Amino acid sequence: PPPQAATLPGLAGAGEMLTELARQTDSTMARLQLTQLSLLAGEALPLFFELPVRDGRQIDLIQFHLERQAAGNEQDEDKTWRVMLSFNFEGLGPMHTVVHLSPDAVATTWWAERESTVRFLETQLDMLEERLQAMGFRVANMACMHGHPPSSDSPPTTGPHRGLLDEQA
């Protein structure tokens, strides 16, 4: 789904902000309960949920899509996790990222709908890579592109590639 825009830009008082935050929290809890019911029915993954994040007077939603992928006859602990995030922060605009996390490496691909955000992200990729390595991860690939992530039914496009995993492949 497309990232959600900021939800509280026009609210003036703290009471209005709290009321809106409570409404959004109730909505998020209802979606989580629906997810839990689907888990009970045996549909464990993929898992979709939203997380409201407050930044000053503004509340943004981060949308998560989590799924587990296994290649061949790997053991359960050797599975790769794919986490897709979508958000729309005021200063950055609509953004999407896909993170592949395996037992031995991490790879990320970012998409930003604003060209200025792409340029900003490209200046930050080295710092993100250093921080991930400091946490003990081996970074297989990091890329940032302009536009939207490809849908599952569209052909892959080419983009920067530096490593073993390529989200565009």
Q: What are the structural domains, with CATH classification, of the chain?
A: 14-146 (3.30.750)
pLDDT in tens, 109-157: 999 999 999 999 999 999 999 999 998 889 999 999 999 888 754 433 4
Please, are residues 27 and 51 in contact by the beta-carbon 8 Å criterion?
Answer: no
Provide the whole-model pTM. Answer: 0.63
CA dihedral 70, 136, 143, 152 (to 10 degrees): 20
Q: Which tokens belong to 111?
A: 């998409």
- Three-class secondary structure of residue 78 per DSSP: helix
**Low-confidence stretches of the chain (pLDDT beneath 70):** 1-12, 35, 38-45, 70-78, 152-169
